[in-house]
A and B are shown apart, each in its own frame.
Chain A
Amino acid sequence: MATTIMSDPNPTREALDERASTDPGGRYLDTIHSWIVTVDHKKIGIMYICYALVFLLIAGMQAMVIRIQLAIPHNTFVSPFTYNRVFTMHGTTMVFLVGMPILFGFGNYLLPLMLGVRDMAFPRLNAFSFWISAFAGAFLYFSFIGGAGLAGTGTAPDVGWFAYAPLTEKAFSPGHTVDYWALALILNGIGSIGTAVNLFTTVFCMRCKGMTLLRIPLLGWIYATTAFLVLVAIGPLTAAQIMLLIDRYLGGHFFDTQMGGSAILWAHFFWIFGHPEVYILVLPAFGFANEIIPVFSRKAIFGYPAMVAATAGVAFISSGVWAHHMFTMGMTSFGNTFFTLSTMLVSIPTGIKVFNWIATMWGGKIRLTVPMLFSIAFLFQWLTAGLTGIMLSVSAWNWQLHNSYFVVAHFHYVLVGAILFMVFAAFYYWYPKMTGRMLNERLGKWHFWTMVVGFHLTFDFMHIPGLLGMPRQIYTYEPNRGWTGWNEIVTLGTFVQAIAIGIFVYNLVHSYFQGEVAGPDPWDAWTLEWSTQSPPPEYNFAVDPIVASRRPLWDLKHPEDPDSAFE
């Protein structure tokens, strides 16, 4: 019984599979057309992922420009104007055009499969959200060539990714840099909210028979929580950007300090969005770990209800910590201590998660496959990032650390060390499902070890200039500061990381054509996506699945010891 569902696609399914019936003539146009008009969650998911990968490479190159410029003091590799545009675009791109889309992409692809249904709750809204985000990305990058752009770096935004007012007001930023930034992000926000509505509704309203709320794979809970945070957090950013545009185009005074407006209000509004945003990005990474660590430890996740509660706890607490970005703005001592405490509290639910992952591995039979290697590195790096996060929450110490390279190192530890590493893990883990072929394990190990070396060279050593007083967002620095050597190591590290990314991209392309055929369930895993073909047909499941536990395929493979007997 178990084997029938696991492999051996029957002829009916082949007939239903559109790829099998595609006429070779005019095939490319048809293929492109089918991707553009598609409302299939898998295709939209893959488009999201590819879109994000393209921007990952672009923003990665911007990071290289930044690092080359900072390798030695008084460098003139780029002008200050170019540098300011490059770091602004690097940050904006990585957060809005890489981080969110890649996570939405995996969510789109995986959720219906893991929940055992045919598609997302609103497939057309899904396509709309993707295309409007895609337009926003193109629009933001048009700023490089729009306006006066063809002569140089154009009118790309140059105000930093948090765009503090009043620097963004017309008086200090004439031209259209800020307009491109605000308009692109408003559009992108509409796409994000659409996708969030879809993800949330899908988890609660689209589940196969038997999948009660406490049987949803943890990834489902994670995405529901992420979607909730997107709904709560993107609105404030959109609102603030509308206010900014009212100031710039209609002569409003929201952030016009000459007319009584407040600079601090923008900071509040931005970080009410900005801090939950960090958790929007990191929660899906936790979700990947929740799926990958158990499979390669060969054990069920330890403390499922605690993990759900911790996820909700992170979401709840993270909505009340935003002002820890503003300890130096002159808050009262009460405000400073309050936000110290609320920020420190986040470490409790995240700590629970780390301990539960360790407990999952404890007593298991750990297989060091590439996805597991990335997950283990993630554990170490997330731990470090969490601890430097607590250091930053110590408001008195934050007066020294704020806006220094220590902060830059800390959040790159989160964004690269935790999120990007788990995204790589997710690629190695689910690529076989998406393409039907395995990623090359040997290249994967090369990728992993180069990435680990490059990452630690870059971001471990980046903490030190911060401790030595190096502020962020500076295009150059003085030679007498003692920062030079550290910056050289950091720059060296980015080159190693670039090699790692090169190996990864090569692996993605190479394995698509040459990779070992995966079969439906290469990892001997337990969630529903592994019960259908790889890649799954458009309708996902030939027969609607019915589940009785959190690990339906475990039940199938171990009828003598099913989970459903214990849950």
Chain B
Amino acid sequence: MSTAALLHIDNDPIWQLPSRGRVGMACVILAESAVFTIFVVAYIYYIGRDVNGPKPQDVLKPPIFGTICLLSSSFFIWLAERAIERGRMQAFRFYWAVTTMLGALFLADTGVEWRKLLTQDHLTISTNLFGTTFYSLVGLHASHVIVGLLLLSVTLVAALTNKLTPAHSERVQVLALYWHFVDAVWVVVFTVVYLVSAR
């Protein structure tokens, strides 16, 4: 029909557009980063402005174990991405299960830490500014880990029941992008909360 418009593009190369999934997820990550930035800024702004204790340096210990778990899970999910791209489903299942487990361990570690803070140090969200900003920021991150874990588990179940095939490789990678983001946020949170404020 519209040959007039067609005429000029006969020599155009193959028409390829960026992946919707990746661009969409990048947008979500951008929006989430803005949310986290504000919470991090609030945390930093209120360091040392408390009118009563406890102070971060008195009660916080860096959660080394949980941090190792979460950061290494990023490595395993990358291995899983490579595996599904190359069609090695057995390896994918293994790496994906390890990722999920490491994420769950991180969450458990946070739970242990909060239990100590609440019962031994009597720090609640309403104790002081530190309590408010600490539980909000770490809790916001933890809630993202929980969402991530749910998505990872659903994918794991699909993989174990053979519903997931290498054709889903791109979707898996989009999900992995989110998980990498959650890890990257933890690097910032860990630095600000446990290294800067608890010094």
Q: What is A's interface to B at a CB cutoff of 8 Å?
A: 1-2, 4-5, 121-122, 193, 196-198, 200-201, 204-207, 209-210, 227-228, 231-236, 238-240, 242-243, 246-247, 250-254, 259-262, 265, 269, 272, 531, 543, 545-549, 552, 555-556, 559, 562, 564
Contacts and interface: CB of A to CB of B under 8 A. Distances in A.
Interface SS, B side: helix
B196 interface: no
Contacts of B133: 254
B187 interface: no
A252 B132 contact: yes
Given A200-B23, A209-B15, A546 B2 contact: yes
A474 B46 CA distance: 33
A149 to B, nearest CB: 30
Interface of B: 1-9, 12, 15, 17-20, 23-24, 27-28, 30-39, 42, 45-46, 49-51, 124-126, 128-129, 132-133, 136, 140
Contacts of B132: 246-247, 252-254
Contacts of A240: 38
B164 to A, nearest CB: 21
A234 B31 contact: yes
Among B18, B35, B49, max chain A CB count under 10 A is at B35
Nearest to A528: B5
Given A205-B23, A545-B2, 7 more contacts: A193-B28, A201-B20, A204-B17, A240-B38, A251-B124, A253-B129, A260-B128
A269 B24 contact: no
Contacts of B30: 228, 231-232
A262 B17 CA distance: 47
Contacts of B128: 253, 259-260
A249 B36 CA distance: 21
Given A122-B20, A205-B18, A236-B34, A200 B27 contact: yes
Contacts of B125: 246, 250-252
B97 to A, nearest CB: 29
Contact of A206 (B17, B33, B45): B17
Contacts of B28: 193, 197
A241 to B, nearest CB: 10
Given A206-B17, A231-B27, A250-B126, A1 B3 contact: yes
B8 A239 contact: no
Contacts of B1: 1, 4-5, 543
27 contacts: A1-B4, A121-B20, A196-B27, A197-B24, A197-B31, A200-B23, A205-B20, A205-B23, A207-B17, A210-B9, A231-B30, A232-B34, A236-B37, A239-B36, A239-B38, A240-B38, A242-B136, A243-B39, A250-B126, A251-B126, A252-B136, A253-B126, A260-B46, A260-B51, A262-B45, A548-B8, A548-B9
Contacts of B45: 262, 265
A81 B189 CA distance: 43
